[in-house]
Structure 1
Amino acid sequence: MSQMHFIGGEKGGVGKSVLSRLLAQYHIDQDLPFRAFDTDRSHGAMLRFYGDYTTPIALDDFSSADQLMEAALEQNQNVLVDLAAQTSRPLFQWMDENDLFGLAAQEGIGVILWHVMDDGADGIGLLEQLFEQLPSGARYVVVKNLGRGKDFSNFEASRARESATALAAPVIDLPELHATTMRKVDHGNLSFWAAANNAEAGLGLMDRQRVKVWMRKAYRQFDAIAESIA
């Protein structure tokens, strides 16, 4: 069964594109069929790092956004959608005016909303809004980005956390990659595989090792919710 994965969080800078890139690399490494879509018109990270797998789309253009459903229908595969900041309004309009959840259920396609958050109050409020805006039966994954915050105690004590539990939404951690190493990966325009394995890509042995360990930790988080990904 195909599944559509919308990787968002609405705020800029919380790590949505890093998670999208990791999910793309996970699919490649696990030999899982997928297609990726990038909604960032200015500097799309998925297009930059995984361009061979990624198509640009404009969510405020229905004929463009419709490619998401078409990709889910063309074969059994995961559709990864890297949502730029401030794209929830056109996304939800497209979902609502096309009754996406009803159509997806009719076609046997899963729809999963990934919410990437830092440890600030905004992330908690935006998650509450997400739960309130979508129809009952929607599926979610909540991602605490440890590279964007260390203290998620306010989230753990929040109404949003209670709602996630009630909705059976898994809550996972996105491990932190050493900041200098991540900058080298990004400045080198490297896929995570190249950063971890290609000695000629410009990263030293210890940087490559840090990327490998980081990916391994992230993959364990994905494996723990494999039913949401595979």
Structure 2
Amino acid sequence: MANIHFIGGEKGGVGKSVLARVLAQYFIDRSKPFLGFDTDRSHGSLLRFYSDFASPVVVDRYESLDNVVEAASENPDKRILVDLAAQTHDSLVKWMDESGVLEATGELGLTITYWHVMDSGKDSVDLLKKLLDRFGSRLNYVIVLNQLRGENFDIFDRSGEKEHALSLNARIITLKRLHEAVINKIDAGSTSFWAAKNKSETDIKGLGILERQRVKVWLNHAYEQIDGLYV
């Protein structure tokens, strides 16, 4: 049964695209077939870093978004990974409502998982509340506490939304912090995480032996978190 994974969080800069790249690399390393869709017209990370697996999708065009469900239906053995750009939530919800997406995917035997990527600020908590209030138990949720964008999630812990999410069977994982200089060098080289951890120093400008090792440690922790989700 195909699973459609929407990587969201609505707020810009919370690390949605980093998580999408981690999931893409996870699927590759775990030999899990997948197809990617990228909604960011100007800075599409899946198109940039995993172009062999990704296609563009225009989130405010229904016929473009329809391709996500069509791909899931036609490729039941593949996971569908959709990297949502910032400020696309309302367009996505409108498409889902007016197209009866949840009803259609249910009839097709498809499941939808929404990965809500959070930084440590209140805005991320407010956006999570909006998401949970809107869809309730009709979606599967994974909440990602992204330590690349802050390590203290006390606001989330005290907000009541953690309990709200858990009551809807949401799963919560942590994406640990990776040294900023390392991820900046990876991005500057437009390279996949596989290349970052495996290639020699001459292949990626300025990325040294221990920097590559830090990528391996970071990815291994992320993979351990994702393994527990059985995606």
TM-score in terms of structure 2 length: 0.96
> In the TM superposition, what whole-angstrom CA distance separates every residue of 1:192-221 from its partner, at most 9, and x where no partner exists?
000000114222111110111100000000
Q: Percent identity among equivalent residues?
A: 48
Distance in 2, matches of 1:99 and 1:135, equals 16
Alignment of 1:37-76 (within 5 A): 37-76=37-76
Alignment of 1:1-230 (within 5 A): 1-76=1-76, 77-199=78-200, 200-202=202-204, 203-226=207-230, 229=231
Report how far residue 137 of structure 1 moved: 2.6
Distance in 2, matches of 1:64 and 1:106, equals 21
Report how far residue 165 of structure 1 moved: 1.0
| Count of equivalent residues | 227
Distance in 2, matches of 1:5 and 1:163, equals 21
Match of 1:79, as an amino acid?
Answer: I
In structure 2, the residue corresponding to 1:147 is in which secondary structure? helix
Report how far residue 132 of structure 1 moved: 1.0
In structure 1, the residue corresponding to 2:149 is in which secondary structure? coil
Contact 1:36 1:55 in 2 (8 A): yes
Distance in 2, matches of 1:90 and 1:135, equals 18
Distance in 2, matches of 1:211 and 1:14, equals 19
> In the TM superposition, what whole-angstrom CA distance separates every residue of 1:92-121 from its partner, at most 9, and x where no partner exists?
111001111111110000001110000100
Contact 1:146 1:173 in 2 (8 A): yes
Report how far residue 135 of structure 1 moved: 5.0
Report how far residue 148 of structure 1 moved: 0.5
Distance in 2, matches of 1:99 and 1:12, equals 27
In structure 2, the residue corresponding to 1:52 is in which secondary structure? coil
Match of 1:48, as an amino acid?
Answer: R
In structure 2, the residue corresponding to 1:66 is in which secondary structure? helix
Aligned-residue Cα RMSD (Å) equals 0.9
Distance in 1, matches of 2:138 and 2:14, equals 26
Distance in 1, matches of 2:24 and 2:6, equals 13
